[in-house]
A and B are shown apart, each in its own frame.
Chain A
Amino acid sequence: MKRLKLPPWLVLLLPAIIILSAVVLIPLVFSLYSSFTSYRLTRPDSIFNWVGLFNYEKAVTDVKFWAAFGRTVLLLAVALNLEMLLGLGLALMVSKVTSGQRLLRTMMMFPMMFSPILVGFQFKFIFNDNVGLVNNALQSLGITDQAIPWLVDGNLAMFSIIFAEVWTATSVFGILILAGLYAIPRDPLEAAKVDGCTSLQSFRYVTLPFLMPFIYIAMAIRSLDVARAYDIVQIMTNGGPARRTELLWTLIGRTGYVDARMGYANAMGYISIFLAIFFTVYFFKKLTQSRRELGMGA
């Protein structure tokens, strides 16, 4: 009996190939394929209904899609910058603390320890216009006598979502920037003092350039996170009111699972992924560049 003889490298790679195909390749190919069909979850046989680029054409001409796209970019821009500034401030303060720093560092991580779903529920309660903490506090302090519709007004709802997002993720920046602060060599900072820098000048000309790689790492991680933001928004506003907090992935999720139009949802998903890829590549470029400026790495 002649046994089939595979080359050894293939045998060795086979487990990896099988696992990768099952986990990554097949879903990827399937979803890509389905984005060219009119696939509806409620009618499984529609998977064979090839419609060519129809879904893509529909997405790029859909105002709702672009509104969600723009809102996601806005959330990215505002949340990331706010988190960076707050995280930087937090890290600078913690780094100056002389005792109990370990405890503070652990406490900084607390917001990251909760599931985004729970954070969503928490802030949904906090910003509730009737029983919410914020309105109660504002009213007891006499700052306002009306119930502010935090999650009902479109702009306020976006603000509330950004607030929740910043609350959960500022510590990502805080921790990474703190690591950056610990890694700064002492010598250039002392040289800057002798060279006549005020503390503000030392920070701007020496500390900050050393922190930039760490800031860009945090930005890259967080841009992926925010670009796929779904859970907090889904819980807090469900994309409402009247789609005014609709983000890319809440829109895609609704289209795919509520409206059951999976082919169309997958097409939008593929366009959206470019957003995440764009930001990640952008921040990695900046990271490499800032490292090169410091004479680190290639």
Chain B
Amino acid sequence: MALYRSHVLVCGGTGCNSSKSDMIRQRFEEKIIEMGLDKEVQVISTGCFGLCEEGPIVVIYPEGAFYSRMKIDRVDRIVEEHLFKGRIVKEYLYEESLDKDKLKSLNEVDFYSKQKRVALRNCGVINPEDISEYIARDGYLALGKVLTEMTPVDVIQVMKDSGLRGRGGGGFHTGLKWGFAAPNQADQKYVICNADEGDPGAFMDRSVLEGDPHAVLEAMAIAGYAIGATKGFIYVRAEYPIAVKRLEIAIGQAKEMGLLGKNIFDSGFDFEIEIRLGAGAFVCGEETALIASIEGQRGMPRNKPPFPAIKGLFGKPTIINNVETLANVPQIIINGADWFRSFGSEKSPGTKVFALGGKINNTGLVEIPMGTTLREVIYDIGGGCPNGKAFKAVQTGGPSGGCITADYIDTKIDFDTLTDLGSMMGSGGMIVMDEDNCMVDIARFFLEFTVEESCGKCTPCREGTKRMLEILDLITQGKATLEDLDKLEKLAINIKNTALCGLGQTAPNPVLSTMRYFREEYEAHVLEKRCPAGVCKSLLSYYITEDCRGCTKCAKQCPVNCIEGSVKKLHIIDQDKCIKCGACMEACPFDSIIIK
């Protein structure tokens, strides 16, 4: 292998890729060849660095110089100055990484210093399309250890001791799950990796697959050995083309090196992995629906028991684990259960990846030890709300979760504390909201999502969620009464108790939790016909102030001709006809149209 003096790591994750990081990488390669540096400097496309807000990101080692918000026209200067002359281009660096002109290491930057990377350890560090880089970071060591030194019973014991809980949402103990499937006799068993990632605001599984696909493959093989399965499936969302491509490459390379396929490590153990694509149905993230989908049917859940560990894919014993759960497994095998338990809390050991988004300065992926407080995540890592706005609430758990308010910001995050607050860990979406977000509107947003995604099999979910949405519509239009609020709450509790699968059982959570913490906001909509945050369109009115100079621009733009007034005279909006499209406000050159 050639030795390079410098490495240029260009983020090839989805976020940075969308802002043309691929072209930046190409330009680096071209310029490096032009300058005759191609024998000394290597350019690598990596997985996500986590700090997506500052993307596209380029990091140059050995200095660890962190260039943020890269632009293609900055590449030449970086190659000339930094790579050729050895002078870091300070004005292009991420601001936080400079301390009085001295370069800080990445671990000292606020965004990274409170994080602990286990599942994401290789993301942004290795080239995910090259198996030798994974191997150089102890890749496939765990599989080797398992196959040559451990019995399946040992493996399951280590998993049980580690206390690892499923990161897909349920938080079920992984060791227990494997332990249920292992003793069942069958001619074939299966391991499934759930990469359907349905939470509409989360992308951590995608980042693991894009940044470190081999970790998932290795873990699946370990799981296969532990329960006696020789075949694995990865069920990926079809919306993740980069992840699918990298998985395909990874599977190909692993097979070529004999790390998948027949007689792995000469142990007599065979394991094969196949990729299956989803087709855009949220409910397919639920394990029994996912199985139906792989079998080629409509993805509808069924009653449990029998659990998949007894009767799963094609009727055979099957275990299903989430991507992030699996990404932890090789590390646990290598470093031991006690090491894993040294992070996190007693009942929720280890770390969790969150997709931090919404009204927050540092959007991106963060991996923190369980037990970190919300305050640390939102303020120390996330940098608080932008534009000096007040923090209002954070939504966790996606469509199954709920909101947590500023009063509870010192809560230590783990599976149980979030559930106690009426929310959920879910898969790890964490969306921050500020004073400009209307909580009724957010509840309505999630409910609309579940109504669309309900598979229609059970009545409480199919019909009940629709009725709830109708009531929420009335509220946001200012047409609801206080009885409607009670009805909404009753309906929510009924659905929670009677729906068939997790989708229906958790669908009312966003409504119940916002009603619990923001009752006064609901009441303002109902009693005063007012949306305090100024979001619900039907409750807003546009007015023209005295500043109007009568330029007539607004009247010309109005699609329903509801603005009256002649040249140089004050214009007036006919409130009965106004459709609240906002076109007039946009057209006004004097900012004299306001929303009330």
A binds B: no
What is B's interface to A at a CB cutoff of 8 Å? Answer: none
**Taking beta carbons and an 8 Å cutoff, which residues of A are in contact with B?**
none
